[in-house]
Chain A
Amino acid sequence: MSTLAINDIQKSFGRTKALQGISVNMDEGEIVALLGPSGCGKSTLLSIIAGLVPQDKGDILWNGISLRETPPHLREFGLMFQDFALFPHMSVYANVAFGLKMAHMDPVSIDQRVNEMLRLVGLPDFSKRDVNTLSGGEQQRIALARALAPHPRLLMLDEPLGSLDRNMRERLVIDLKRILHQMHQMAIYVTHDQEEAFSIADRIIVINAGRVEQVGSPKDIYSDPATIFVARFLEMTNIIPGVILNRDGICQAITPLGNFPLETALEGNIYLLIRPDMARLDDSNPIVLRGIFKEVTFRGSNQRVSLMVNQYPLIFEFNSQVALPSSGTEIIISLDPHSAMKVFPNQ
């Protein structure tokens, strides 16, 4: 089984530290998402893995062998750009066949493979088309077909759905996942969109300012964000500053929302995360908050409720069917500290 090892990659541009020591291991057939805000270094990392940009420190190893001396065209890695970068002077066929031609494949095999790829991406009759006349979604598929045709050992996708509309994005991300799994393709998927990352990845690496914040499956990351940054990035906005006091082995959290007992190893200044998806609209859970209901945003499958507790704004998500009081009146929320709360250190 093939493995890719990215060891402690560091890269600076002038005084800006773009990557501050990134390490990842990947196995054959895995889809890993690099998730992070714009400018966090993820595209730089892709360029380094591709060999287009040299790293300052660290190494890329394929099956244990360093790729430092290997130029991009010999690494057998595929790269799909956000703006597709289709060759404007070639037809669809020639674009998809390019990598195969570089690999000195015979024309008959090239023909077979190109048609196979076009079928795979759902555009079987597009061979003779001029790439400049294709729509955004079609260009994306052709770019994918081109990158996949030479069966690269690793496929990197740099925000491939960035320039498409929402419906197209949601459809294509499903297609992408199916295709990548079908080909057992090792892939790195770079995006700033957390929904995309969750849809497509086996594992997610959350990156911020050149550093790894968390690594895990989508489910793990969502149910247990490792840092405040990850929580905020996942749009969990109920983050409250507070203090943990330890009296005779019993921990008490002092927060603007009130004081309550909490089981935690941390002490002193902390941030408290209250998950928006684990609350009840009654007082059945141990920790009860009373607040003023402000407004609700209907989002199809759920509804987002904004309320104020002790002048502190909070947001919770409930099932769409749940009945809500009228705006401006009191609302009761109860939380189970084990499932709904998490404590983070605050230096």
Chain B
Amino acid sequence: MILKRHKWAIFILLWFPPLVFLLLFYFYPLGSILKISLERSQHGLFSPFLDAFKSPITWRVLSFTLWQAILSTILTLCLGLPGAYLFAHYNFHGKSLLQALTSIPFLMPTMVVAVAFNALVGPSGWINLGLRQLLNLDRPPIQFTNTLAAILIAHVFFNTAIVLRMVGDYWSHLDPHLGQAAQMLGANRWQAIRRVILPVLSPAITAAALLVFIFDFTSFGVILILGGPRFATLEVEIYYQTISLFNLPLAAVLCLLQLGCTLGLTLVYSRLTKRLTIPLALKSHKITQRRLTTPRSKMLAGVLIAFLMTLLILPLAALAIRSVTRLERGFGQQMATSPTFTLDYYRELGTNHRESIFFSSPSTSIGISLGYALATTALALLLGFPAALALSRDADSPVNQGMDALLMLPLGTSAVTLGLGFIVALDKPPLDLRASWILIPLAHTLVAFPFVVRNLAPALRSIQPRVRQAASVLGASPISILRYMDIPLVGRAVLVAGAFAFTISLGEFGATSLIARPEFPTVPVAIYRLISRPGELNYGQALALSTILMLIACAAMLFVDRLRIGEFGEF
């Protein structure tokens, strides 16, 4: 058995890398930018705070941020939970493809999503085009962009994958006897779900809901592009104040406000999960999953799948199709007519015109993004695994709870502020990283590695302590236990976490747009630049690049699903 002394040593060893990382690349840059911002205030250190809290803008922005996030989260759960049930309990043809496809929206940069929705329901999108032709209208009948509905639907589009995967995965291993026992004791289907299944699932549901809420709370691109000038969350307001109005003191206060809210949420989360950690006997998929048999279940599954596909896949399909379609505009005609198939946009990606805003052709951004993504994945796993291990061993200790909250901070911090902080802080030796390629992976890792921890900690926690004790008694050192027990047993969780880190890095835009060097753009930055320029060719290239990014992400997710390492049944 491990002595108390060794226990502390291991503890410190595990937390050391993530802690150092956070100190250097989160607290230090953030502190720098806040210091600079508040130094600039004209009337003393605390006046920005007072001004901000007296201004009605602050409260309006805060309340909008909160309730749009709450609404989005509820809607996401409404679609995600039935979907998680379907994926957890049933096997059907094309299931893994469907799972991969429904995960893709989460990884899409906002740019791509805006373009995709535009290609589907925008003024010259497929639906409006079709309706105008059908009903002979002058104007597009459906107004989608610049509405609250656009924001909510885009949020659901993005985050349903989190619920589907986190809850679906956990649910798929739940002992079916629990529900059956409830039925034999007189509970009908709904009562069994409400009183037994859902409470037992609540750690996973709460974790997923909290993550969804945080993403919605700090949402930036969606509000900016799909919501338009009428709507502003904290992050958007920070962006305006920083970039457009140069009101750094106010931006700093808002950033702290956002941070405070995120910290509060994480503390609530830690409290909740402490009460809810239940060691579950996990069963393999062979026991818990079956084929769809009754006509009723087939019909319900069909409806749900149709709904999922419509919301989650149709915009992406519209994007892909639009990327190979040229709409010819006839002379003097308002409406575009006769679409034709073309691969021109893809061909253009490989060429570099002399007057191009790039120093190289847009297609090189793909290689750049992939490189950054691989570096991010390695870093995020290296940092995230020890943290997840520490968290799983003693979830109740106050130190662990504190660290847990710390880890979530980067997710809740303004990406704009972080990007600025990187530029401002990391320009002096020994941390002069301005010229280094590692700057972007570091920024991406900040966002990715908390997610890795969130994914790995539950999996590690679910390993019965007996298994580790048995290994220890048989002579395994703590390192051997790690190698032969923890790692194989959570192999799949590691792969899933790694895949998420990879795709988060591919799609990150907020901080990257500030940090990336012009000659080394990532794919989202390249798309943004192409879209900002007028012209069908530029727009088409943006579509083509977006489609390529979408395909890479799809491949990553399919890879994860096919590779079932460490499945409980095989063990």
Contact = CB atoms under 8 A, between A and B. Distances in A.
B186 to A, nearest CB: 3
B184 A87 contact: no
Interface string A19-54: 000000000000000000000000000000010100
B185 A85 contact: no
Contacts of B196: 87, 89
A72 B192 CA distance: 12
Given A87-B196, A89-B200, A132-B278, A73 B187 contact: yes
Interface string B262-299: 00000000000000101111000000000000000000
Nearest to B195: A98
B180 A52 contact: yes
Contact of A85 (B178, B188, B191): B178
Interface string A281-312: 00000000000000000000000000000000
Given A71-B188, A85-B178, A89-B200, A52 B183 contact: yes
B438 interface: no
A73 B178 contact: no
A79 to B, nearest CB: 4
Contacts of A102: 185-187, 191
A136 to B, nearest CB: 13
B166 interface: no
Nearest to B280: A88
B175 interface: yes
A192 interface: no
Which has the most chain A C-beta neighbours within 10 Å: B177, B181, B188, B278?
B181
A220 B64 CA distance: 79
B186 A85 contact: no
A99 interface: yes
Given A102-B191, A132-B278, A132-B279, A87 B186 contact: no
A191 to B, nearest CB: 18
B182 A98 contact: yes
Nearest to B279: A132
B465 interface: no
A85 B183 contact: no
B177 A146 contact: no
Contact of A77 (B182, B184, B276): B184
A81 interface: yes
B489 to A, nearest CB: 20
A147 B186 CA distance: 11
B31 interface: no
Interface in B148-180: 175, 177-178, 180
Interface in B173-228: 175, 177-178, 180-188, 191-192, 195-196, 199-200, 202
A150 interface: yes
Interface string A75-86: 011110101010
B177 A85 contact: yes
A79 B184 CA distance: 6
**What bracket does the count of chain A residues touching chain B fall in?**
20 to 34
Contacts of B199: 89
Contacts, number: 71
A65 interface: no
B200 A73 contact: no
A72 B175 contact: no
A103 interface: yes
Given A85-B175, A88-B200, A150 B186 contact: yes
B278 A99 contact: no
B199 to A, nearest CB: 5
Secondary structure at the B interface, as helix, strand, loop or mixed, is helix
Contacts of A77: 184
Contact of A99 (B177, B185, B276, B279): B185
Given A87-B200, A89-B199, A73 B188 contact: yes
B174 to A, nearest CB: 10
Nearest to A158: B177
A50 B188 contact: no
Interface in A90-141: 98-99, 102-103, 132
Nearest to B186: A102
B186 A103 contact: yes
B175 A79 contact: no
Nearest to A47: B180
B181 A79 contact: yes
B255 to A, nearest CB: 39
Contacts of B278: 88-89, 132
B399 to A, nearest CB: 24
B223 to A, nearest CB: 38
A98 B188 contact: no
Among A72, A74, A99, the most chain B Cβ lie within 10 Å of the Cβ of A72
Contacts of B188: 71, 73
A99 B186 CA distance: 6
A147 B199 CA distance: 21
A143 to B, nearest CB: 8
B178 A146 contact: no
Contacts of A98: 182, 185, 187, 195
A79 B181 CA distance: 7
Interface in B224-247: none
B201 to A, nearest CB: 10
Contacts of B200: 87-89
B177 A83 contact: yes
Contacts of B192: 73
A73 B184 contact: yes
Nearest to A79: B184
Contact of B180 (A79, A132, A146): A79
A178 to B, nearest CB: 23
Nearest to A53: B180
A81 to B, nearest CB: 5
A27 to B, nearest CB: 22
Nearest to B275: A89
A150 B182 CA distance: 12
Given A132-B278, A132-B279, A85 B187 contact: no
Contact of A87 (B181, B183, B202): B181
Contact of A83 (B185, B186, B202, B281): B281
Interface string B317-352: 000000000000000000000000000000000000
Contacts of A78: 184-185
Contacts of B276: 89
Contacts of B281: 83
A284 to B, nearest CB: 56
A148 to B, nearest CB: 11
B192 to A, nearest CB: 8
Contacts of B191: 73, 102
A83 B183 contact: no
A44 to B, nearest CB: 14
Given A88-B278, A89-B199, A102-B191, A72 B183 contact: yes
B140 to A, nearest CB: 50
Contacts of B175: 83, 85
Contacts of B186: 73-74, 76, 99, 102-103, 150
Given A74-B186, A79-B184, 17 more contacts: A71-B183, A71-B188, A72-B184, A73-B187, A79-B180, A83-B281, A85-B177, A87-B181, A87-B182, A87-B196, A89-B199, A89-B276, A98-B195, A99-B185, A102-B185, A132-B278, A147-B185
By Cβ-Cβ distance, the 5 closest A-B pairs, closest first, are A102-B186, A99-B185, A85-B177, A79-B184, A85-B181
5 contacts: A73-B192, A81-B177, A88-B200, A88-B279, A146-B185
Interface of A: 50, 52, 71-74, 76-79, 81, 83, 85, 87-89, 98-99, 102-103, 132, 146-147, 150
